[in-house]
Structure 1
């Protein structure tokens, strides 16, 4: 054709090629963007998985440590209770000994008699 218009099949071919290239570029950008987001999401998921694993390990460690401390505390408490019982029995034995020798001993629920200050004692006056 010689009317000055470009050849129609060449124009359409060029236009289709440009559109295809643009569509391919957009598709590539979109795929890269989506793949990038997927990789980013995978990294976040992996990070949270590792953090969760570490937190569980720390929780288990502290649970075990707490259990050991409870066992130790129970043993110390039992030992202290045994000592208190021995002291109580010793005090009761001393009370009975004093009572047998005629020395008055207040009972646990009685207030002790006030102390007597002996003249000439050094009490800071």
Structure 2
């Protein structure tokens, strides 16, 4: 994907360091469950030796962010010809980068009006 095409959101907020072992363990378990759920044989924290998990959990410092604002920005070849924007959008969709591809096609459609 060309670097001149992007969609980005910047999150601003207050950070709290959460190094409480119970908090970290609970959130690692939630993340593990969420990311392993689609696997044919989902891995669980209980599948690993207890001392390994204990060591890993103690090494993690969690950060909690209370989001106070979100700022979205985009650059989607607005300075290019409609056909170029449309071609880029179609190519991105063909590669499976559908969010960016559809955004580019929307820019092309709006610009052609």
**Bigger RCO of structures 1 and 2 (CA < 8 A, at least 6 apart):** 2
TM-score of the pair, normalised by structure 2: 0.20
Please state which structure has a larger fraction of its residues in helix.
1
TM-score of the pair, normalised by structure 1: 0.18
Please state which structure has a larger fraction of its residues in strand.
2
